Amino acid sequence: MKAQYIDYKETGSFSPAVIRYLDKDTSLKPFYNQNATLEGFEKILSSKKITTNRKLLSEILTKQYEGLNISQQLAENITLLKNENCFTVTTGHQLNLFTGPLYFLFKIVSTINLCNDLKKRFPEKDFVPVYWMATEDHDFDEINHTFINSKKVAWPIETNGATGRISTEGIKKTIEEYISVLGISENAQELGELVETAYKEENLSKATRHLVNSLFGKYGLVILDADEPALKSLFSTIIAEDIISENSFKNINHTNEELIKAGVSPQVNAREINFFYMLDNLRERIVFENGKYNILHSDISFSETELKEEIASHPERFSPNVVMRPLYQEVILPNLAYIGGPAELVYWLQLKSNFNHYHIDFPILILRNCASIANPKIDDKLERLGFSYRDIFKNKEELKNKWVLRTTEHDLSIDNEWREIDCIFEKLKLRAHKIDPTLAPSTEAIKIRLHKAMRSLEKKLLKAEKKNHSEALQNIENIKDELFPGGTLQERKENFGMFYVKYGEDFIPSLLKNLHPLDFKYTILS
């Protein structure tokens, strides 16, 4: 693959808040720690406070990987985590079916590449890429499908509780549907076998680990399921304090007010209690009502004393929500940076005051690599149309109009004619004013109506001319549909499967070669 790079602001596809963060807008500095630069990493390394139990973390990872084939580099990375000079770079994602949208792979590649960049800059230290599986999420409807070759493949089952604990029993038909889209090539068969084998694991957490390890294990990616009693015990003190004192609610809502003043719209709202109570088939909010801590949609409740005892005895039953999960992550990992998508980056800006409250280091925030993968034929089509990849971020009609106006042999503009008519109306207004000053507004109103009618005629001229260039305009349609399926960025909808079928074992190495996490450019790969 070859790569082209475009400034994010040129795409028009990212929020002003993200662009301001990438531009190091000083008004956002109170909401994060260090800049996303090698200099920023040097500063955070000089003062990093480690809260994790390294030995425990390594032991749990070893246990979680039992029964899987692991690469030598992965085994070394799990061992390295015991050492004081080893740090992690983390990304997180839900357990989307068959990895979900393409950008999931970009998150992982960004994480691996950043670790490699840091190792080159700080050779005396070690850096381990971590994929944090969001096994405790309960919104199955968000993850039970994927789009491959524009076809939606879904696993339509009813379920409750944490998605990581969902049994994979009954997923066979969905796997067959996914594999049927891949085709019959050698690469398709290879990926099909990989997927089939992965989803033979007993639950969605283990299946996702198996699949992602098959794709990225050779690069040392460590996959963590933090739904572990021993890891939750490291967080139990904060769980109890935050539920009882409602600190995150106070801290984050205050930060939200400050963000709004800085011109940033908060992505999430903190609740009074930001933990769920979780059993095998239950993950429900905890609410404080009538002097009791009640679990919604159940008959479970606790007094304050009983709640503290339950947290001490069973910390694994307390599941952090979206605003507390990042804090849990930073407590149990020796982490330097979090790599997330545009929306994630903005919601992390809401969290720093809560980290400060609990004296936990806030990680450097890195926007994951964002990219589109173009069929090589698109290069030729764009060249023939006279467009570049920068142009493709404009909407279809704007591109079509631009091409027709640039190509047509006819003058489709009424500007010259209108200037002549405008002069005539100025004379008419003057004449009318001399006869009766009250007629001037009437003359202006007629002029406005005529101008509107002529602009309508101009649009009809353009529309008629478009019919003479249907092939070129269809090429524009095809390019937009491939790179913006359903009107959204390709990476946010299309699964990686068909790209793996096309490029095979070269696909992921090509991503690793061309995606540069600290350059902060949109990447076009073809």
| pLDDT surpasses 80 at 384 | yes
pTM across the whole model: 0.90
Phi and psi, residue 209, nearest 5°: -60, -45
Which pLDDT value is given to residue 318? 98
From the list 175, 90, 171, the residue with the least C-alpha distance to 134 is 90
The answer for residues whose C-beta is within 8 angstroms of residue 476's C-beta and 6 or more apart is 385, 396, 399, 400, 403
Which pLDDT value is given to residue 327? 98
Distance of alpha carbon 518 from alpha carbon 339, whole angstroms: 11
Which pLDDT value is given to residue 160? 87
Distance of alpha carbon 200 from alpha carbon 192, whole angstroms: 13
Which pLDDT value is given to residue 114? 98
Which pLDDT value is given to residue 419? 85
The string of pLDDT tens digits covering residues 229-239 is 999 999 999 99
Distance of alpha carbon 102 from alpha carbon 372, whole angstroms: 9
Q: What is the mean pLDDT of residues 248-255?
A: 97
| pLDDT surpasses 70 at 335 | yes
Q: What is the mean pLDDT of residues 405-410?
A: 70
State which H helix or E strand residue 132 sits in: strand 126-133
- What are the extents of the domains in the chain? 12-232, 376-488
The string of pLDDT tens digits covering residues 41-68 is 999 999 999 999 999 999 999 999 999 9
From the list 164, 114, 403, the residue with the least C-alpha distance to 280 is 164
Distance of alpha carbon 238 from alpha carbon 227, whole angstroms: 16
Average pLDDT of the chain? 94
For residue 441, what pLDDT band results from cuts at 50, 70 and 90?
Answer: confident
Strands 145-148 and 126-133: unpaired
Distance of alpha carbon 283 from alpha carbon 276, whole angstroms: 6
Phi and psi, residue 452, nearest 5°: -65, -40
For residue 369, what pLDDT band results from cuts at 50, 70 and 90?
Answer: very high
